Structure 1
Amino acid sequence: MNTPLVPALPRTELPDLEAVLLDYNGVIGLQPDADDWRQLATLAGWPEGTTEDFEAAFWKRRTPYDEGTITTSAFWSRLLRGDRTAPPGSALLDALRETDTEMWTRTDSEVLRILHAAQTTTGVPMVLISNAPRPLADRLDESEWCATLMSRALYSARLGVNKPAPRAYEAALAAANWPAPERTLFVDNLLENCLAAARLGLRTLHYKGDPGDLARHLLPRRSATAQPAASGIAAASTVLAD
């Protein structure tokens, strides 16, 4: 005769993580919109209708700025058009720096909610590892979410190296007190950065804008274990619900 299964009380399963390494832009931070790029292009002297060309030039020249190997003035001197100049201390350089920094500071409230919930329920340490120039790094350090969520915050301009260089991941692991790579989750919106992390043995989440993906990796899951009503018979089933 079959023994009926009686569900036991739900229990909580914690993710088996020792640390989480988080990218900023495209995960916690929202991407700039078309108006942001248009405003910055206009400030840099680019004619109307050339915003896409400006954005392409911006990214082509961005790597050494993010690495901290060139100054803000040097970065913008290569991007200005017309008769514009932005020497150190100029009002235009200040405006470019502020506009550039500000457009990267909007955050995804749902992602932050999930991170706070994970911190509260699991206590897993979180380390921010971002490709960011010094002005943006300074601004993010001043944010409330960074101060309350992150045990450490690392930026390429201070490290002198961008992801996906191995040294960036090694610095993040050191900041997290060297957790086991296989029990460390790295979250980034760029596939190349995730592939580089995976080569070092880290778990990865290639984040594509769905906070639910983050929740499934970080938040405790509820499990219900079914047990036999009659004693002496070992039978159980477990269902995990995200």
Structure 2
Amino acid sequence: MDAFTAAYWAARQPYDSGRCSSTEYWTAVLRRLSRPADARTVEDLRRADIDSCSHLDAHMAAYARSLRSRAEVAVLSDIPADHADALLAAQPWLHAFDHLALSGKAAIAVPDRAAFHHCTAALRAAPVDFLFVDDREENVRAARALGMNGHHQRTPLHRPRTPRSRHRQLAAGQRGLTPRRRESGCADGALHRPSESVRSRGRQ
């Protein structure tokens, strides 16, 4: 793991769960890198981060939507509130799911148990009724510890959310660069609860 990626994730959970502002988060990241945290750099990093989370991979989106024909689906995503606003504006189809738990809006973040409880309560089901799919192993372990079925998606259906080269360039103090738009998936975890018809078929 390179220095920027380590700094990016080290302070991420408070930001994702709405416990600190974007300015506080990016200042902490830049300080870990021994870089000046001036207002312009912080804002450029915030905008680059939002852009990286606003463009979902078409294959991942199609797969997620296909699940609705046979299961109730909740999306549990670690995403700051300002990122969530941009994501929902760019991807309005996300509202079609049975429940959206966006961490910055709900003040929760995986792998905290409260994030999983939030979704089980919303869909009125026990943890054992859920399959949690995520590309971060620590999140899957947390779901299993709660009693959910868990699947670690090692071969992603989409490009995983990782700090982009644009972030690194900005943190290094390089300006005047045009960000490359890349598709990424920010809907980190999906929880699938089998519909009653599917459960009934399974009992026959």
Q: One fold, TM greater than 0.5?
A: yes
Aligned partner of 2:168 in structure 1 is none
The alignment partner of 1:65 has SS state of: helix
What is the deviation of 1:144? Answer: 2.6
| Amino acid of the structure 2 residue aligned with 1:63 | Q
Aligned partner of 1:76 in structure 2 is 26
Aligned positions of 1:20-39 closer than 5 A: none
Aligned positions of 1:20-59 closer than 5 A: 52-59=2-9
Taking structure 1 as reference, are residues 203 and 70 closer, same or farther at Cα in structure 2, changes over 3 Å only?
A: same
Of residues 111, 115, 127, the one that matches 1:181 is 127
Contact 1:112 1:145 survives alignment (8 Å): no
Of residues 79, 82, 94, the one that matches 1:146 is 94
The alignment partner of 2:2 has SS state of: helix
What is the deviation of 1:111? Answer: 2.2
Aligned partner of 2:106 in structure 1 is 159
Contact 1:141 1:153 survives alignment (8 Å): no
5+ long unaligned stretches in structure 1: 1-50, 219-242
The alignment partner of 1:161 has SS state of: coil
Taking structure 1 as reference, are residues 146 and 92 closer, same or farther at Cα in structure 2, changes over 3 Å only?
A: same
TM-score (norm 2): 0.66
Aligned residues: 156
What is the deviation of 1:155? Answer: 2.1
| Amino acid of the structure 1 residue aligned with 2:113 | P
Aligned partner of 1:108 in structure 2 is 57
The alignment partner of 1:137 has SS state of: helix
Alignment of 1:60 onto 2:7: no
5+ long unaligned stretches in structure 2: 158-189, 195-204
Contact 1:186 1:205 survives alignment (8 Å): yes
What is the deviation of 1:99? Answer: 0.8
Aligned positions of 1:113-152 closer than 5 A: 113-119=62-68, 121-122=69-70, 124-142=71-89, 143-148=91-96, 150-152=97-99
Contact 1:97 1:135 survives alignment (8 Å): no
The alignment partner of 1:209 has SS state of: coil
Structure whose alpha-carbon radius of gyration is higher = 1
Residues 13-57 of structure 1: per-residue CA shift (max 9 Å, x gap): xxxxxxxxxxxxxxxxxxxxxxxxxxxxxxxxxxxxxx9322221
Identity %: 26
Contact 2:67 2:73 survives alignment (8 Å): no
TM-score (norm 1): 0.57
Alignment of 1:202 onto 2:155: no
Separation in 1, partners of 2:117, 2:58: 29
Contact 1:161 1:168 survives alignment (8 Å): yes
Residues 38-94 of structure 1: per-residue CA shift (max 9 Å, x gap): xxxxxxxxxxxxx932222122222221121111111122234555511xxxx5443
Contact 2:27 2:42 survives alignment (8 Å): no
| Amino acid of the structure 1 residue aligned with 2:138 | E
Structure with higher strand content: 1
Taking structure 1 as reference, are residues 157 and 195 closer, same or farther at Cα in structure 2, changes over 3 Å only?
A: same
Of residues 122, 139, 145, the one that matches 1:193 is 139
